[in-house]
Copies of this chain bind each other. A is one copy, B any other.
Amino acid sequence: MVKNKKIPLDEFLKKREQILMHWPTGSSELLDFETAKAYLKAVPDEKNFAKVLRKAKAEGKTLIQPRAGVALLDAHIELLNFLHKEGRADFLPSTIDSYTRQNRYANAEDAIKQSEKQKRSLLNGFPAVNYGVEGCQKVFEAINIPVQARHGTPDARLLSEIIHAAGWTSNEGGGISYNIPYAKSISLEDTIRYWQYCDRLVGYYAEAGIELNREPFGPLTGTLVPPSISHTIAIIEAILAAEQGVKNITVGYGQCGNINQDIAALKTLDSLTNYYLKLFGYDDVFVTTVLHQWMGGFPKDEAASMALISLGAMVATLGGATKIITKSPHESQGIPTKEANAEGLRASKIMTTLLKEQTYPKNDLLEQESDLIKKEVKTLLYATLNIGKGDFAEGVIKAFEHGLLDIPFAPSEMNQGKILPARDAEGNIRILEFGNIPFDDETKTFHKKALEKRAKLENREVSFQMTIDDIYAVSRGDLVGKALKQSKELLHEN
Contacts and interface: CB of A to CB of B under 8 A. Distances in A.
Contacts of A309: 307
Contact of A311 (B308, B314, B342): B314
B346 A303 contact: yes
Number of copies: 2
B358 A361 contact: no
Contact of A354 (B306, B308, B344, B354): B308
A303 B306 contact: yes
Interface in A331-377: 342-351, 353-359, 361-366
A480 B354 CA distance: 8
A350 B310 contact: no
Contacts of A308: 350, 354
A319 interface: no
Interface in A247-280: 257-260
Given A310-B311, A363-B362, A363-B363, A478 B304 contact: no
A181 interface: no
User: What range describes how many residues of A lie at the interface?
Assistant: 35 or more
A357 B425 contact: yes
Contacts of A447: none
Contacts of A318: 259
B494 A88 contact: yes
A313 interface: yes
A306 B357 CA distance: 20
B351 A307 contact: yes
A88 B353 CA distance: 30
B347 A303 contact: yes
A306 B306 contact: yes
A314 B343 CA distance: 20
A69 interface: no
A31 B453 CA distance: 54
A152 interface: no
Contact of A310 (B310, B364, B365): B310
Given A355-B479, A363-B363, 8 more contacts: A303-B343, A306-B306, A306-B347, A307-B309, A307-B347, A311-B351, A314-B314, A361-B365
8 contacts: A259-B318, A303-B343, A303-B344, A311-B354, A349-B477, A353-B478, A354-B474, A354-B478
Of all A-B residue pairs in the complex, the 7 with the closest CB atoms, nearest first, are: A310-B310, A363-B363, A303-B346, A307-B347, A361-B363, A304-B350, A303-B343
